[in-house]
Amino acid sequence: MNNYTPPFNLTNEILDYVSTIMKKIGQLENYKSLNKKPILRKNNRIRSIHSSLAIEANSLSLGEVTDIINGKVVLGDQKEIQEVKNAYKAYEKIKEYNPVSIEDLKEAHRIMTFLILDHAGEFRRGNEGVFDENDNCIFIAPKPDMVAPLIDELFNWMRQNIQTINSLIISSVFHYEFVFIHPFEDGNGRIARLWQNVILANYEDIFEYIPIESQIKSWQKEYYNIIQECNVKGDCTSFIEFMLKVINATLDQLIQNSTNQLFYSTPSMHKLLNVMETGIPMTAVELMEKLGLKSKKSFRENYLKPALEQELIAMTKPDRPTSKNQMYYKLY
């Protein structure tokens, strides 16, 4: 059992992605400098948490998640609010966890499911399955008596190979295998995404605050389809390729954003960004007041639209751009 190796192949696509990602990390010196700013770090962490929870059907908006983490009162489902508080505490400990410690993994789960699960931090005692939107069972997880041995095998494999196999690959293999084993009663997806960050941050510090989960959320359907495809094949090669594509796209976005942050293309955008605080949502009315503007059309065309297009700012409700409760926040 100690010689278990997860089934995957090192394809040319995987090797190309690893090489490309490592080069892009080297291009992010400007981002590494910006990353020293506590507000930027917190903003990216909030984006990670919001996206990871949204994948699991948490309905809170980015603005609401931001308010909860900033200690403001938010009205809503108490379970969803507790999920946010728990996730923030778990993500704050990313650099403290040992990526090859099962006890640290259980501790992360205890934090992530505090006041939500009766058996937080304990492997499940019953059978689990995954159901589609029509309530059809599409995957049956290994029996509960197999959970501990399978987790032991996975962590032993990581311990034996973490110095010789690139952590980009190790973390992606872990993510898939962990979801397949489904070791906890609930929270498996959240922990899988968190722990991939733990492994990556142990490899390269910059990954502690890179919001990979936001890109997964954008490609959520493909994410689930690839997992199901790998379950059928009994091989996680496709999932590794997918996760490396996700990481590569996330780095592309960061490189573009950090470049835009350094070179505002218009004086109007420069003024807009100067009156905004990173990660703090504001309404259009509040922004116009700070800018001393009265024309909504001018504000929209010369300030708001260009900044959104260059991804210097974002909407708290991107799925409802014309919402009366729409707010905007600076990304970096």
Q: Which pLDDT band, with edges at 50, 70 and 90, does 278 fall under?
A: confident
Q: Of 10 and 319, which is predicted with more confidence?
A: 10
81 shares its domain with 190: yes
| Of the candidate ranges 85-89, 110-114, 126-130, the one whose mean pLDDT is the lowest | 126-130
The pLDDT value recorded for residue 132 is 66
Mean pLDDT of the chain: 91
**Do strands 129-131 and 137-140 pair parallel, antiparallel, or not at all (unpaired)?**
antiparallel
What's the CATH number where 38 sits? 1.10.3290.10
286 shares its domain with 250: no
Backbone angles phi, psi at 129, to 5 degrees: -140, 165
212 shares its domain with 295: no
232 shares its domain with 319: no
Q: Of 209 and 115, which is predicted with more confidence?
A: 115
The whole-angstrom separation of Cα 239 and Cα 229 is 9
The whole-angstrom separation of Cα 308 and Cα 314 is 6
Beta bridge partners of 313: 330
Q: Is residue 6 part of a domain?
A: no
- CA dihedral over 225, 217, 71, 75, signed as positive or negative: negative
Q: Is residue 4 part of a domain?
A: no
Helix (H, G, I), strand (E, B) or coil at 131: strand
178 shares its domain with 305: no
pLDDT over 60 (residue 30): no
User: In this structure, are residues 219 and 250 in contact, taking their beta carbons and an 8 Å threshold?
Assistant: no
pLDDT over 60 (residue 235): yes
Q: Which pLDDT band, with edges at 50, 70 and 90, does 296 fall under?
A: very high
Task: Compute the average pLDDT of residues 302-306.
Answer: 91
pLDDT digits 0-9 by tens, 154-168: 999 999 999 999 999
What's the CATH number where 290 sits? 1.10.10
Domain limits for position 307:
264-330
Q: Which helix (H) or strand (E) element contains residue 108?
A: helix 102-112
Q: Is residue 156 part of a domain?
A: yes
305 shares its domain with 199: no
299 shares its domain with 203: no
Q: At what angle do helices 167-181 and 237-262 cross, to 10 degrees?
A: 120
285 shares its domain with 252: no
The whole-angstrom separation of Cα 301 and Cα 284 is 13
- Show the beta-strand stretches assigned E in 236-300: none
Backbone angles phi, psi at 36, to 5 degrees: -75, -15
The pLDDT value recorded for residue 2 is 61
pLDDT digits 0-9 by tens, 188-202: 999 999 999 999 999
297 shares its domain with 226: no
> Which of 204, 226, 260 is the last residue in one of the domains?
260
> For residue 148, which of 181, 99, 179, 185 has the smallest C-alpha distance?
181
| Of the candidate ranges 101-105, 299-303, 316-320, the one whose mean pLDDT is the lowest | 316-320
151 shares its domain with 277: no
- Side chain identity, residue 114: F
53 shares its domain with 199: yes
Q: Is residue 183 part of a domain?
A: yes
Q: Is residue 7 part of a domain?
A: no
Q: Which pLDDT band, with edges at 50, 70 and 90, does 36 fall under?
A: low
**Do strands 129-131 and 313-315 pair parallel, antiparallel, or not at all (unpaired)?**
unpaired
Q: Can you give the pTM of this predicted structure?
A: 0.82
Q: What's the domain count of the chain?
A: 2
Chain center to CA of 70:
19
The whole-angstrom separation of Cα 284 and Cα 208 is 32
> Which of 245, 260, 275 is the last residue in one of the domains?
260
> For residue 8, which of 242, 230, 186 has the smallest C-alpha distance?
230
Q: Which pLDDT band, with edges at 50, 70 and 90, does 139 fall under?
A: confident
Q: Is residue 214 part of a domain?
A: yes
170 shares its domain with 268: no
> Which of 235, 260, 285 is the last residue in one of the domains?
260
